[in-house]
Amino acid sequence: MKTSPMRLALRAALATALLGAGGAAWSQDATLARNLAATCANCHGTDGRAVGDMKPLAGTPADKMLAMLADYRSGAMPATIMHQIVKGYTEAQLKLIASHFAAQKPKQ
Amino acid sequence: MSNSTDLHAPARRRWLAAGAALGGGALAAGCATPAPSGPSLGRVVVIGGGFGGTTTARYLKAWGGNVDVTLVERGATFVSCPISNLVIGGYRQIADVTRGYDGLKAAGVRVVQGEVTAIDAAARKVRLAGGTELAYDRLVLSPGIDFMYEQVGGLQPAIDSGRVTHAWKAGEQTLALRRQLEAMPAGGVVAMTIPRTPYRCPPGPYERACMIASYLKTAKPRAKLLVLDANPEVQSKKALFERAFSQHYKDILEYRPNAELKEVSGTLAKLDFEDVKADVLNVVPPQRAADIAVKAGLVNINNRWVGVNWLTMESTAVPGIHVLGDATFPAPAMPKSGHMANQHGKVAAAAIIQLLKGEPVSATPVVMNTCYSFVTARDVIHVASVHQYDAADKTFKTVPGSGGVSAAANQIEGRYALSWATNIWNDMLG
């Protein structure tokens, strides 16, 4: 798996900003973010690289994804299913998920 | 390969043993990508190449790096139960729901086609038909279900003879049911029976009813479908399925609750108070954890299912064996589904990597489920749920206010359903 230095830096910055975490905690949070994001992969593809009609999430900026998720939660964004799924996750979990997908390379 | 594994041995020693056990070259031959350097974290054998097993194998490689992963599956290919009802309806071919294991091999998983005949939990090894033994540090068993034939008189011989189908494991059975529907006289009667819950895929039988009725409506409009349900009502997406039955299949489909199949004779279905003569009889049999789980002494709940520790998916009966998917005794409101088995696989993969490293497992796992059902060739309904781990009760619980079903059947979700299938198959199989 290749991750560009910029994305790595972004991921680290995000993690620090979101979690205020240092070394070991950062690694734990990254693992938790990875695990949580994997619950989305069934529809949105492994690490967010979806095919077909599902929205690809890899490389989506975290703030953009969090805004979308908030709109699903509030009902501002019409949805078939996401308004029901988003309510199953805590805000902290959604932030971790968003940080993980932001750091993934989009499908070529 | 008969050397047993000392779990307390240093990782380096275990790695050397693994190299000897797998014959080195055999593993390398299965790898399209170079193996990561450094000592192996350990050996994991995964039994079962369905939704749970393949996901675990793939994620162990993706997340664990240098883990030796061997997947044992008796079939040459993966045939998906989800979407297979469309094959029965005539809207897809079996090839559309069939995938190979090459993606897993490319990811570095050693794929062995074979049948596991015994698990020696004390020696940490499994034996395959033909005598091959595979040693493991952690075993993953994602065996699916087998049928409780003893509960329905005459069922096993009827299915063995090919006269009656179950089509509840996709593949030849799916095709056999399709052929019977095609061969049936124009004014014929199809009967399908649904066992008492719990069974694999709660909405599956009702989707199947829709697909059979949809086929009959077009190809044999004088034919009838009787849906004989042992349960008192439709078990999933009830209002949506009932609407589909009356909206699309009013003159073809008859749904009868509290109609439990007791005995089969030819294609005669014997219930408590009546016999139903069908031209085509499709029986979804009562189910339990698959035979290998019974044989390995893992079935410890209701004489039917495998209890697991939800933080690791490890069996509560036998240490070192992680059990996934339909074979498990589920957490409250957790469905037996391919989607859920995939989610179990990720919990297991993450936990096994931590256990092999000697580090703590995540204390806050989450799993979720989405199930799409076709009610016509294009219109689909869903049910979704999110399950968070509850540390106090040591189980997954659905989050209040989350999840739910479609507002109404719709074609947008018809497209999503097919995309879901492609994405989850890619997620499992690479």
> pLDDT tens digits, residue range B318-359?
999 999 999 999 999 999 999 999 999 999 999 999 999 999
- Contact assignment for B399 to A45 by CB distance below 8 Å: no
B333-346 core/surface letters (b: 16 or more CB in 10 A; e: else): ebbbbbbbbbbbbb
Please indicate, yes or no, whether residues B229 and B153 belong to a single structural domain of this protein.
yes
From chain A, pick out residues whose CB is under 8 angstroms from the CB of B342: 42
Quote the tokens at residue B7. Answer: 């779990």
* Arithmetic mean of pLDDT over chain B: 92
Q: Specify the pLDDT at position A67.
A: 98
Give me the residue spans of the domains in chain A: 5-102
The answer to whether A56 contacts chain B (CB < 8 Å) is: no
Residue B115 falls inside a structural domain: yes
Within this chain, do residues B139 and B168 fall inside the same structural domain, yes or no? no
Mean pLDDT of B259-281: 96
pLDDT of residue B275: 96
**Residue B367 domain flag:** no
B244 falls within a domain: yes
pLDDT score, position B7: 33
Q: Rounded to an integer, what distance in angstroms lies between the CA atom of residue B104 and that of residue B384?
A: 28
Q: Touching check for B424 and chain A: CB below 8 Å? A: yes
Confidence of residue B64 (pLDDT cuts 50, 70, 90): very high
Confidence of residue A23 (pLDDT cuts 50, 70, 90): low
Q: Is the pLDDT of residue B25 over 60?
A: no
- Judgement on whether residues B268 and B352 belong to the same structural domain of the protein: no
What is the percent of chain B with per-residue pLDDT over 70, rounded to a whole number?
91
**Domain shared by B133 and B239, yes or no:** no
| Shortest distance, CA B127 to any CA of chain A (angstroms) | 32
**Whole-number Å distance between alpha carbons of B375 and B241:** 7
- The minimum CA-CA distance between A63 and chain B, rounded to whole Å, is 22
On whether both B48 and B67 belong to a single domain, the answer is: yes
What is the percentage of chain A residues whose pLDDT exceeds 70? Answer: 79
* Distance (Å, whole) CA B220 – CA B241: 22
Q: B185 with B62, same domain?
A: no
Task: Give per-residue pLDDT as tens, B372-389.
Answer: 999 999 999 999 999 999
Look at residue B412 and tell me if it is in a domain.
no
B128 and B15 in one domain? yes
Q: What is the ipTM, given to two decimal places?
A: 0.90
pLDDT given for residue B22 in this prediction = 34
Region B8-13: what's the mean pLDDT?
35
Q: Per-residue pLDDT tens for A65-80?
A: 999 999 999 999 999 9
pLDDT in tens, B239-267: 999 999 999 999 999 999 999 999 999 99
Q: Specify the pLDDT at position B33.
A: 47
CA atoms of B284 and B194, how far apart (whole Å):
5
Say whether B410 sits in a helix, a strand or coil: strand
Mean pLDDT across B149-158: 98
Domain count, chain B: 2
Taking every pair of C-alpha atoms in chain B, what is the biggest distance, in angstroms?
Answer: 71
Sheet holding B268-270, edge to edge: B263-265, B268-270, B275-277
Q: For position A54, what pLDDT does the model report? A: 96
Model pLDDT, residue B21: 34
Alpha carbon distance B377, B379 (integer Å):
6
Q: Does residue B357 sit in helix, strand or coil?
A: helix
Supply the pLDDT for residue A9. 54
Give the lowest-confidence range in A21-25, A56-60, B191-195, B375-379: A21-25
Confidence class for position A108, pLDDT limits 50, 70, 90: confident
CATH number for the domain that contains residue B80:
3.50.50.60
Q: What percent of chain A has pLDDT over 90?
A: 72
Kindly state whether residue B399 falls inside one of the protein's structural domains.
no
What pLDDT score was predicted for residue B266? 93
Are B62 and B85 contained in the same domain?
A: yes
Handedness of CA A65, A71, A74, A79 (dihedral sign): negative
Q: Specify whether B138 is located in the same domain as B46.
A: yes
How far is Cα of residue B399 from the mean position of the Cα atoms in its chain?
A: 24
Nearest C-alpha of chain A: how many angstroms from B56?
A: 12
At B364 the pLDDT is 97
User: B114-125: per-residue pLDDT in tens?
Assistant: 999 999 999 999
Q: Does residue B24 sit in the same domain as residue B133? A: yes
**Is the pLDDT score of B30 beyond 50?**
no
For A56, name the nearest residue in chain B, comparing CA atoms only. Answer: B423
Q: Say if the Cβ atoms of B362 and A31 lie within 8 Å.
A: yes
Q: How confident is the model at residue A25 (pLDDT cuts 50, 70, 90)?
A: confident
Q: Give how far B162 is from chain A: nearest CA, Å.
A: 35
Q: Which stretch of DSSP H or E encloses residue B290?
A: none
- The residue among B306, B335, B360 that closes a domain is B360
Q: What is the mean pLDDT of residues B11-21?
A: 33
**B416/A53 CB distance under 8 A:** yes
- To the question of domain A5-102 being in CATH 3.40.640.10, the answer is no
Please give the structure tokens belonging to residue A74. Answer: 């509030």
Which of these three, B242, B264, B285, is where a domain ends?
Answer: B285
Is B403 inside a domain boundary?
no
CB contact under 8 A, B343 and A32: no
Interface of B with A in 181-200 (CB under 8 A): none
pLDDT the model gives residue B10: 35
Cβ neighbours of B36 in A, within 8 Å: none
Does one domain contain both B237 and B225? yes
Residues B241 and B332 in one domain: no
| pTM for the model | 0.89
Distance from CA of B382 to the nearest CA of A (A): 8
Nearest CA-CA partner of B261 in B338, B167, B194, B319: B194
pLDDT score, position A27 = 80
Are the beta carbons of B416 and A43 separated by less than 8 Å?
yes
pLDDT, position A7: 58
Q: How many CB pairs under 8 A join A and B?
A: 104
Give the pLDDT mean for B103-109.
98
Q: What is the pLDDT of residue B20?
A: 33
Structural domain harbouring B336: 11-146+288-360
> Is B155 contained in some domain?
yes
Residue B5: pLDDT band by 50, 70, 90 thresholds? very low
Averaged pLDDT, B292-315: 98
